[in-house]
Every structure is written in C-alpha cells, then in structure tokens.
Amino acid sequence: MIIPAFDLINGNVVRLYQGNYLNQKKYDIDLYENLKLYASKGIKFIHFVDLDGARNSEKKQLEFFKDIIPKINISIQLGGGIRNENDINTLFKLGIKRVVIGSAAIINKREVKKWLTIYGSESIVLALDIRIDTVNQKKEVAIHGWQENTKFLLEEIIDFFLPFGLKHVLCTDISKDGTLSGPNILLYKDIVKKFKNIKFQASGGVGNLEDIVNLKKSKVDSIIIGRGLLEKKFTIEEALKC
C-alpha cells in the first residue's frame, strides 16, 4: 500500500531536515485538494505527523483534524505527542483510524502494552526510528525526535510487544529520511524475513519509482512517501502503478 505523508506545523505542510525544527521547508500546497485527489485514486490511508504536538503535547492541532476529517474519505494514521490514554481517546473520537506511538514505546512500555490490549492491533502503529551501527549493523532505536539514542534494538522492541498483539510497525532509517537518496532495502528485507506476522511500513529515502519497485520486492506491507510526492518527483498515479 502507498501511504502519502504530511508533516504539519500550525496546519501548514512542512518537512524538517533530520528532525531539526530550525531547518524546515514549507510547501505551498492545497492540502484538501491533495487529499481529495488521493481519495479519488483509491488511497486508503494518509500518514500525518503533528509536529506541534510532538514538540509540546499540549499544543496538538486538534482543531485542524476536527475540521478536515469529515471532509475527506480516507483513513488517517496520526503521530506526534501521543503520551497517554486521554490523547488516544481524543484522537479516536475525532475520527483518527490509527495512532502512531513513537518514544512512548521505549520509555513507557507498560502503558503501550496496555494500549495494544485495550484498543487492538489495528488501532496502534509503533514508529521505530533507527540508526544502524556501521560496525556491527545493530539497529539501535532513537527517541525524542531522534535526539536521544537508546540501548534498545529494533528486534528487542518488536519481540517485547508481539505477545500483546503488535501488528503494525513503521520503521524509519534515520539516515535516509528526507534525503530522496533511496531507502535501505537490505534493512526491510531483513526485518520482513525475521518478523513474518508484522505489517511493516517503510519510511525514508523514496526518491523515484525504482525505489518503490524495490521496496515492493522487499515485501514490506506499505510505503510511506512524503517529500517525493510533495516535490513531484513522480505522481501518485505512477507510484500506484508500481
């Protein structure tokens, strides 16, 4: 599945370079028209990142989503500043289909384990952003907008949550994000082979149609595409044909 992605600050579409709020690019696009186009082409999910909420969980862009969700016929998965059950319940009441849990999956495992049990595997996506050690190829998870490395490995986190119904994992190779330089195909081939019951969403580096073809061959379930579509490296029609 192709999942177009939009990062938002104050309702505006932006891209941060390597997670740096001081290094952001704004895109002058009509988001609503883009979403209508994607719906007409059969896109099933849109991935949103609430960067305001990620930086300050009290400043989530709830009014924006409250306004736009009734106007579009596409399911939304949303990440950014989701810290507790109240956050999750609020988003589901707005009509969000899936919530994306990032740092909390590392620093608050017990709660996330409970959320998987309460809300079900289709409602929770774990976002695991990794840096790959060039010496031993270990996939080390980073949190808090990539500012903090952890001692945890990707495989350890997935293994921990599998017994509680984990199904959807959004995996980003940090070194590839926003670069258009091509995704880490070897990474996705490896983790798809190791975890046959997980539906992986590949994120980071997609810059041309060949990247999409190669990711499909890796057998990931979905491909997150942000900058490639925003900067018209290819059209949504071309991406879907792959």
Domain locations in the chain as residue ranges: 2-241
Q: What is the pLDDT of residue 219?
A: 97
Catalytic residue check, 129: yes
Mean pLDDT of 142-161: 89
pLDDT at 110 over 80: yes
Distance of CA 20 to the CA centre of its chain: 17
pLDDT of residue 239: 97
Q: Three-state SS for 148?
A: strand
Q: What is the pLDDT of residue 10?
A: 93
pLDDT grade for 151, boundaries at 50, 70 and 90 = confident
- Per DSSP, the chain holds a count of helices (H) and strands (E) of 11, 12
Mean pLDDT, the chain, integer: 94
Q: Which of 87, 129, 173, 211 is catalytic?
A: 129
Residue 18 has pLDDT above 80, yes or no: no
Mean pLDDT of 183-198: 97
Catalytic residue, chosen from 7, 50, 52, 87, is 7
Quick one: pLDDT band at residue 48, thresholds 50, 70, 90?
very high
Closest by CA to 210, choosing from 235, 190, 239, 176, is 239
Per-residue confidence band for 145, with pLDDT thresholds at 50, 70 and 90: confident
Tell me the mean pLDDT in the region 124-143: 92
- Give the C-alpha separation, 19 to 77, whole Å: 19
CA distances from 143 to 4, 84, 160, 175 (A): 23, 17, 17, 14
pLDDT for position 144? 82
d(C-alpha 242, C-alpha 225), whole Å: 13
Q: Does residue 134 have a pLDDT over 90?
A: no
Using DSSP, state whether 239 is helix, strand or coil: helix
3-state secondary structure of 79: strand
pLDDT higher than 90, residue 22 = no
- Tell me the CATH class for 2-241: alpha beta
Is a pLDDT exceeding 80 seen at residue 42?
A: yes
Q: What is the mean pLDDT of residues 220-229?
A: 96
**Burial class of residue 213 in the structure, from the number of CB atoms within 10 Å of its CB (0-12 exposed, 13-18 middle, 19+ buried):** exposed
Q: What is the C-alpha to C-alpha distance for residues 125 and 47, in angstroms, rounded to an integer?
A: 11
pLDDT at 175: 87
Across the strands, what pairs with 173? Answer: 130
What mean pLDDT do residues 77-101 have?
96
CA-nearest of 38, 41, 45, 11 to 27 is 11
Amino acid at 217: K
Instruction: Tell whether the model's pLDDT for residue 20 goes beyond 90.
Output: no
Q: 126 and 143 in contact (C-beta within 8 Å)?
A: no
